[in-house]
Every structure is written in C-alpha cells, then in structure tokens.
Chain A
Amino acid sequence: MLLIACPHCGKRPETEFRCGGQAHIARPADPMTVDDGAWSEHLFVRANPKGVHAERWCHVHGCGRWFNALRDTISDRFIETYPMGAKPTQFPQSETRA
C-alpha cells in the first residue's frame, strides 16, 4: 500500500487522496494582455517529466485540504509533501536506473 504524508494528518493510505496535476503554475496576472498562444500554454501545456515532478494533491477523504508533493514518476515514490504556498526543501535527482 502506498502511504502519502498529508501535512495535516500524517501518513495515510493512497485511496484517500486525489491528484490535482502539476503544481506551481502561476496564472498570468493580467490575462487580457496575454496572447492566445501563451494563454493556451498556461492552460494546457504541462511538464510531464520522467522523474521528479511537483504536483498538487488533495486529501479529499480526510481533512479535505490541498497540499503539494514531490513525486518521482518512475518509482511512484513520494519524496516530500509540503503545504500550499510553500516551496519544497529539496530538489533531488530522479531515481532513474539507467
């Protein structure tokens, strides 16, 4: 079973959580000044890396709160979870085994 460490509740089973996609995407401050290309980039284009990825997660069947997580997309290991508005403390290398 995969355990995810919610910043409020501690380690809880994966089934209680829902993933909300890539984290730290800043919405353009004034959307009216952004051209169509940049706007569609903001809306639809995501990093989708093979390796460490910063994601938003929601503890939907628990405290109901959103938080951020660093997850390795190769091993599915959660490296770090941290509150909304915060930055991760570490930027580890991917766990790729070449």
Chain B
Amino acid sequence: MLETRYRAARALPLATLPRPAASGASVSVRPAGAESRFSLRARLGGGAPTLAGLPLDAPINTVGTDGEVWIARLGPDEWLVGGPEADADLLQGRIHEALAGLPHALVDVSHRNVGIDVSGRQAAAVFNAGCPLDLSETAFPPGSATRTLLGKAEIVLIRAAAAPLYRVECWRSFSTYVHGFLNEAVFGAEGAVAP
C-alpha cells in the first residue's frame, strides 16, 4: 500500500511548463531530459587518469565526449561529468575505478542540475543577451565548457560539438529563471516568437 503512494519517479522542473520549448527559424531552446551528472573534485598531481577514453588532465574550460559520457573541466581540481540517466551507478563505478588510489570527492548532482539545450545559428546571440562572455568561434570553439553567469544565475555553458548547439547546466531552483531568460532572449533574437 505504502509503496504505491511514494513513487520514485522523477519530476523535471521544466517538464510541466505550458510551453516547454521556444523555437524560431534560427534558434531553439529546449529543456533536456533526465541525465546523470557528477561533480568530481581531485588533485591530479602528476597523474593523468582517463575516463571513458577521455583524459582528466585536459586544459581547464574544455569538454570532451565519447558520444555518451561528457567531462567538462571547470577548474584545476574540478570536473562536471555527465552521462545517460540509466548509467548513473555504472558511471560512478567507472570514475572510482579511474581514480583508484587518488583521494577524490565524487557527488551525484543528477537531480541538482537541470539541462537546457540551445541550438541554431543565433544561439550565441541568445546567450549574449545575459552572458558577457565572448562566444565567437575563436574564443569559445567547439570543445569549450565553462562556468559563467546568465543574467543573475550561475550556469555551466558547454559546447561539445562543432554544431551551434550549446548545453546550459543550471541549478534546479534557478531553472525556471534561466529557461524564462533564454525564451525572452529568443523573442529578442527572432522578433516574432512569443516567449
């Protein structure tokens, strides 16, 4: 009886919005589905461990992906690791395996983070409505990832591939603000799409 009342199903904060996705001719904003994510802190020292074939000692503010797992290095001793939702336990085991013998802190932040995908020709212009970073091809090429600000909210901005597709990772409680901000920016960039 009890277990039918307490479901373990996960409710995404942006899933119940009346208009979850805003899209126009040159840009679209779409909340991502559930994923697993981990915050990893470790001092590499001289070592260069790899995870999913990706080196952890890649330059700061870069992201690597093998198609499923992505690893963004946010600072000298900090990484954000993402992967499919069903692989959370598997991924956790692989990280512990890769860092065996090295003191590290691994925190599951799958439910703390919310992902929003912004794609299209005008994607960079949409971010620049609230993020003063230089997002040109030379300053923020494919493979870049960094923590930054969008309006008043802290986000992690990830550009894994060459396509104009950006992933915003923000904290759950900021997600409606960030999503609304991006939709407003789409309205500004397109001029015709209601936010």
Contacts and interface: CB of A to CB of B under 8 A. Distances in A.
Interface residues of A, number: 12
A16 B157 CA distance: 14
B132 A63 contact: no
B133 A65 contact: no
Contact of B146 (A1, A9, A15): A9
A48 to B, nearest CB: 29
A51 to B, nearest CB: 28
Interface of B: 60-61, 74-76, 78, 132-133, 146-149, 154
A1 B146 CA distance: 19
Contact of B133 (A8, A13, A63, A64): A13
B interface majority secondary structure: strand
A59 to B, nearest CB: 8
Nearest to B74: A63
B76 A65 contact: yes
Interface string A1-42: 100000011001101100000000000000000000000000
A61 interface: yes
A62 interface: yes
Interface of A: 1, 8-9, 12-13, 15-16, 61-65
A8 B154 CA distance: 19
A63 B154 CA distance: 12
Contacts of A16: 148-149
A8 B132 contact: no
B172 to A, nearest CB: 18
Given A8-B60, A12-B133, A63 B78 contact: yes
Nearest to B78: A64
A9 B61 CA distance: 7
Contacts of A1: 132
A62 B78 contact: no
A13 B132 contact: yes
Contacts of A65: 75-76
A7 B110 CA distance: 30
A8 B149 contact: no
Given A8-B76, A9-B60, A9-B61, A62 B132 contact: no
Given A8-B75, A12-B133, A63 B148 contact: no
Nearest to B75: A63
B147 A63 contact: yes
A61 B60 contact: no
B148 to A, nearest CB: 6
A62 B78 CA distance: 11
